[in-house]
Amino acid sequence: MRIIYFTLLILLCIKVRAQDARDTAININEVVINENRFSTPISKQNRNVYIIDKETIAKLPARSIQEILQYANGVDLRQRGPFGSQVDISVDGGSFEQTVVLLNGTKIIDPQTAHNMLNLPIPVEAIERIEIIRGPAARIYGINSLTGAINIITKKQDHSGFLVNAYGGSNFEKDSEGTGDTFYGRGIQLGTVLSSKKQQHSLFGSHDKSNGYRYNTQFENNKIFYQGNYQIDNSNEIMTSFGYINNHFGANGFYAAPGDRNSSEGIQTTIAAVQSRHILSERWTLLPRLSYRYNDDDYRYTPTTGRSRHFSNSLAAEFNTSYKMNSGELGFGTEVRSEDINSSNIGEHDRRNLGIYGQYRTYLLENLNINIGAYANYNSDYKWQVYPGLDASYAITSGLKLVGNIGTSQRTPSFTDLYLNQRPGNIGNASLTPENAFQAELGFKYVYRNFSLDSYYFYRKISNYIDWTRASTSEPWQSNNMGSMVTGGFNIRSNYSMALSTQAKLNINLAYSYLDSEFRDGQPNLQSKYLISSLKHQVTNTVDLQYKKFSVLFATRFSDRIAGSSYWVNDFRLSQSLQKFTVYVDAQNIFDTTYSEIGTIPLPSRWFSLGIKFVNL
């Protein structure tokens, strides 16, 4: 049945493509990607970039960043807990430590562990779009962008007003091992905006609570986020932001199954940033930034009442500039980062990092775009290393463009990788060296009226690959540089929008990724904690129909991992708007698929939610 469904979607894409000549064009405002030094319209990008815009976010059956990203092709979300409790993220077969996450261009790096990377105080209602950049990107974003980068852009509101979004849901099953109560989830998001000609202030908050979906998976998640924009004049602008999240959840089987059945974890994260843009002339622009991140991770292993408490700080300053010349555009930048940790199981450690960027972009021919640069990095533990990269594109026609890039990048071991001491479970390795990646990619982008098609093939080699291994179950897991991970793969992504009438519109997204990974120069007799869980096949598909103020979206996700069974998960959202009110119904995992993304941790069965939103913005 699912094969038939997938085939029909392909045939539908072909059919509606043939009808383009008779369709009315649907105009979409072009997104500009801000890459710290260069600003580039998405149509002129010579990277593999995927955008999830606010219109798509509003239609998805999702109430957290994690739930939004599970519909992005090439992105691998490995959940331990549902609805944003605890999630590892990776891109195109990398590990969860090899993707850098950014908020409005500011890197969110957790020096303790990337398990906490997506513990962000950003309610969905505050998000303008999410940019997913695939492939090594050191010369753009610096350290830890080994396999890609995910940049979350928040809204800059033009009008004063407020919004309220409340929901409740359940799988209508009971907690037979615990309280006997029916499992439920509920939440509310609030937002208010004060906007004037030269100032915009946004304040968003959210509260989500659930008693889980099985024994000891309850959670409570509270977020607050403030953003202020100040236009001093036409050439000078300042943006400030502050966020706090307190996320507490039951951790049944999350890290040390089966003994951690009654464990729990609480994570508190604070972020703050100040950045500005100064246009000194028609040619010269300055972009300074200052950011801070604090994290408190409190894990409690019961019934033995073991406790792991980690406090970490990251303070970073960046200075970027671009200069336009007659022959092209130069970009320079530098960043300084200080990281420290005080932990019951890791100890007290600190390190410093200095990065220097250099880029040059030009059109050698009328249709040939070249972007070349390098990132030089100094780390107090690993000294100097240099990571060059090259992007190029050639426009064959106005709608067809060839794209190629070669890139390198680095991932510095986390403090957990280096110094963790949780005997007999896990121990770090202070002798680790950084991971290094090389990737080459070739593909094309095709756009004709309301139809777009992107396809890429890439080859990547990660040397000094870090994994947690052991020789037998009687030994602890230990982090080690294990050899090289070589991955080849291709991905294809299509979109079609069709005006069925003056009041109805159909939109179809269909994407597929294939990965073939080979581990070289390792020790074959060792057990691996993370290596064997990468995706091999992935399909993502959304079909949404909008008629006047009514919309329905159906989403399908297929995942086939190197180890473990494959699975399909299907979700949908129905919504009806009436003036400033919107009522929506979500159904997740509607065919009640049994599946897991990490180990044997089962994820939620069929789940239904009802919500109402009021927007006066």
pLDDT at 21 over 50: no
- Binned at pLDDT 50, 70 and 90, residue 534 comes out as confident
Range of the domain at 569: 2-616
User: What is the chain's percent helix, strand, coil content, to nearest 5?
Assistant: 10, 60, 30
pLDDT at 20 over 60: no
Taking the CB of residue 269, how many other CB atoms lie within 10 A of it?
A: 22
User: Among residues 135, 129, 152, which one has the least CA distance to residue 442?
Assistant: 135
- 521, with CB counted inside 10 A (0-12, 13-18, 19+), is exposed
Give dist(CA 120, CA 126) in Å, integer: 12
pLDDT digits (tens, 9 = 90+) for 319-328: 999 999 988 9
pLDDT digits (tens, 9 = 90+) for 331-385: 999 999 999 999 999 999 999 999 999 999 998 888 899 999 999 999 999 999 9
pLDDT at 432 over 60: yes
- Binned at pLDDT 50, 70 and 90, residue 31 comes out as confident
**Residue 15 pLDDT:** 44
pLDDT at 158 over 90: no
Q: Tokens 């080699």 label which residue?
A: 461
Across 293-320, average pLDDT: 91
pLDDT at 431 over 90: yes
**Pick from 20-24, 252-256, 302-306, 607-611: least confident:** 20-24
| Mean pLDDT, the chain, integer | 89
Domain of 85: which CATH number? 2.40.170.20
pLDDT at 523 over 80: no
Across 447-461, average pLDDT: 95
pLDDT digits (tens, 9 = 90+) for 582-597: 999 999 999 999 998 8
**Residue 596 pLDDT:** 87
Give dist(CA 548, CA 16) in Å, integer: 21
Across 220-240, average pLDDT: 96
* CA angle (479 as vertex; 475, 485 as ends), nearest 5: 120
Across 267-271, average pLDDT: 97
* Percent of the chain topping pLDDT 90: 69
pLDDT digits (tens, 9 = 90+) for 32-72: 777 777 777 776 778 888 899 999 999 999 989 999 999 99
* Percent of the chain topping pLDDT 70: 93
Number of domains in the chain: 1
**Residue 258 pLDDT:** 78
- 351, with CB counted inside 10 A (0-12, 13-18, 19+), is middle
**Residue 494 pLDDT:** 96
**Residue 29 pLDDT:** 52
**Residue 304 pLDDT:** 67
pLDDT at 74 over 60: yes
Give dist(CA 181, CA 387) in Å, integer: 55
Across 485-499, average pLDDT: 94
pLDDT digits (tens, 9 = 90+) for 540-561: 999 999 999 999 999 999 999 8
pLDDT at 27 over 50: no
- Binned at pLDDT 50, 70 and 90, residue 532 comes out as low
- Binned at pLDDT 50, 70 and 90, residue 529 comes out as confident
Across 169-198, average pLDDT: 94
pLDDT at 601 over 90: no
The full 3-state SS of 116-180, as one line of letters, equals: HCCCCCCCHHHEEEEEEEECCCHHHHCCCCCCEEEEEEECCCCCCEEEEEEEEEEEEEECCCCCC
Q: Determine how β-strand 527-528 pairs with β-strand 466-470.
A: antiparallel
